[in-house]
């Protein structure tokens, strides 16, 4: 059969099959994923009894959101092979410990509502070309006295994101929900290039919206970050869910 005819045939048969299935389909009778799988199996000429792993994965990806969570500074650095714990307090408490504790709770919160979560290290090789509904990297700020105003959190998306609307919406959701959960204030003055041009933004797939959050300053906000990590984590996971579920969020002023 000429190729054109073959494809035309497939289209006609698929349409007929679709019409039949959707007429006969009642929600209890068939899983819609199975229906789509069977139609495509049929159209591309594979044996439906064998299943189609690629397709199963694809349909799952559409239905179940996938989120990447980075505990800032976790894992070895690629240049030295050593772990850089980030900010270090005088008594030995590290930013890495704080970030990991928060990231663990964020993962728990998201998995509890059936989000697929990838827990990633700071320089994880899986970040190369990483595709997901969203990615959030969790950090916290300096552990020495700067001034009395060095309290609060910051969120930044990539300045040059290829999906600026999505990245902006994600940042809006995280800021809105983080502030509600923690009562911390956005610390506008200290957003650096390390945030706006955070290295991970340039490693992941350019269609994956991403933000980095500095959850607070380890000096003035230490008590809150160490004693109430559940509130910190709730702010982040609620922000992610706000983005995934397209919930309303409102932030005054410009978002970086
Ligand atoms: Zn950090």
Q: Please state whether beta strands 154-157 and 210-217 pair in parallel, antiparallel, or not at all (unpaired).
A: antiparallel
pLDDT value for 133: 97
Spacing of C-alpha 69 from chain mean position: 6
State in Å: Cα 69 to ligand 1 middle. Answer: 14
Residue 27: CB atoms within 10 A of its CB come to: 7
The single residue listed with the structure tokens 């789509």 is: 36
Sheet holding 154-157, edge to edge: 116-120, 66-71, 134-141, 210-217, 154-157
pLDDT at 241 over 80: yes
CATH topology of domain 64-244: Aminopeptidase (3.40.630)
pLDDT in tens, 185-198: 999 888 888 899 99
Q: Percent of the chain having pLDDT more than 70?
A: 73
Residue 239: CB atoms within 10 A of its CB come to: 30
State in Å: Cα 189 to ligand 1 middle. Answer: 17
pLDDT in tens, 128-170: 999 999 999 999 999 999 999 999 999 999 889 999 999 999 9
pLDDT value for 135: 98
State in Å: Cα 111 to ligand 1 middle. Answer: 24
State in Å: Cα 16 to ligand 1 middle. Answer: 56
Is 74 buried (19+), middle (13-18) or exposed (0-12) by CB count in 10 A?
A: buried
Q: Tell me how far apart the alpha carbons of residues 64 and 115 are, in angstroms, rounded to a whole number.
A: 6
Structure tokens at 190: 């200290």
State in Å: Cα 72 to ligand 1 middle. Answer: 6
The single residue listed with the structure tokens 């959960």 is: 181
- Three-state SS annotation for 178-201: HHHHHCCCECHHHCCHHHHCCHHH
pLDDT band (50, 70, 90) for residue 250: confident
pLDDT value for 85: 97
Structure tokens at 97: 């410990």
State in Å: Cα 127 to ligand 1 middle. Answer: 17
State in Å: Cα 210 to ligand 1 middle. Answer: 16
State in Å: Cα 120 to ligand 1 middle. Answer: 14
Where do the structural domains in the chain lie, given as residue ranges? Answer: 3-61, 64-244
State in Å: Cα 200 to ligand 1 middle. Answer: 12
State in Å: Cα 139 to ligand 1 middle. Answer: 4
Q: Tell me how far apart the alpha carbons of residues 178 and 159 are, in angstroms, rounded to a whole number.
A: 21
Average pLDDT over the chain reads: 82
pLDDT value for 245: 97
Residue 94 has φ and ψ, to the nearest 5°, of -115, 155
State in Å: Cα 219 to ligand 1 middle. Answer: 14
pLDDT value for 29: 41
Q: Tell me how far apart the alpha carbons of residues 20 and 90 are, in angstroms, rounded to a whole number.
A: 70
Q: Percent of the chain having pLDDT more than 90?
A: 68
Q: Tell me how far apart the alpha carbons of residues 89 and 73 are, in angstroms, rounded to a whole number.
A: 15
- H or E stretch at 85: none
pLDDT in tens, 47-66: 334 444 555 555 554 568 99
pLDDT at 42 over 70: no
Residue 210 has φ and ψ, to the nearest 5°, of -145, 150
pLDDT in tens, 87-132: 999 999 999 999 999 999 999 999 999 999 999 999 999 999 999 9
Q: Tell me how far apart the alpha carbons of residues 40 and 183 are, in angstroms, rounded to a whole number.
A: 50
Is 214 buried (19+), middle (13-18) or exposed (0-12) by CB count in 10 A?
A: buried
- Residue pair 185/179 in contact (Cβ under 8 Å)? The answer is yes
């Amino acid at each position: 059969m000429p190729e054109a005819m073959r494809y035309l045939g497939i289209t006609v048969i698929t349409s007929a099959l679709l019409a039949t299935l959707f007429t006969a389909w009642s929600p209890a009778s068939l899983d819609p994923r199975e229906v789509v799988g069977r139609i495509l199996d049929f159209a591309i000429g594979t044996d439906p009894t064998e299943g189609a792993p690629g397709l199963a994965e694809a349909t799952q990806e559409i239905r179940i959101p996938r989120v990447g969570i980075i505990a800032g500074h976790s894992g070895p650095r690629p240049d030295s092979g050593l772990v850089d714990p980030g900010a270090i307090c005088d008594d030995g408490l590290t930013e890495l410990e704080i970030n990991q504790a928060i990231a663990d709770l964020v993962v728990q919160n998201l998995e509890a509502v059936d989000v697929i979560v990838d827990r990633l290290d700071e320089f994880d090789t899986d970040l190369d070309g990483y595709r997901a509904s969203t990615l959030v990297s969790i950090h916290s700020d300096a552990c020495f006295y700067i001034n009395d105003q060095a309290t609060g959190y910051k969120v930044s998306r990539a300045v040059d994101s290829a999906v600026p609307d999505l990245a902006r919406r994600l940042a809006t959701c995280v800021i809105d929900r983080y502030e509600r959960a923690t009562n911390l204030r956005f610390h506008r003055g200290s957003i650096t290039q390390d945030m706006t041009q955070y290295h991970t933004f340039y490693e992941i797939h350019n269609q994956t919206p991403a933000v980095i959050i500095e959850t607070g300053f380890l000096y003035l906000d230490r008590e809150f970050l160490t004693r109430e990590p559940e509130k910190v984590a709730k702010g982040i996971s609620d922000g992610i869910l706000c983005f995934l579920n397209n919930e309303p969020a409102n932030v005054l002023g410009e978002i970086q």
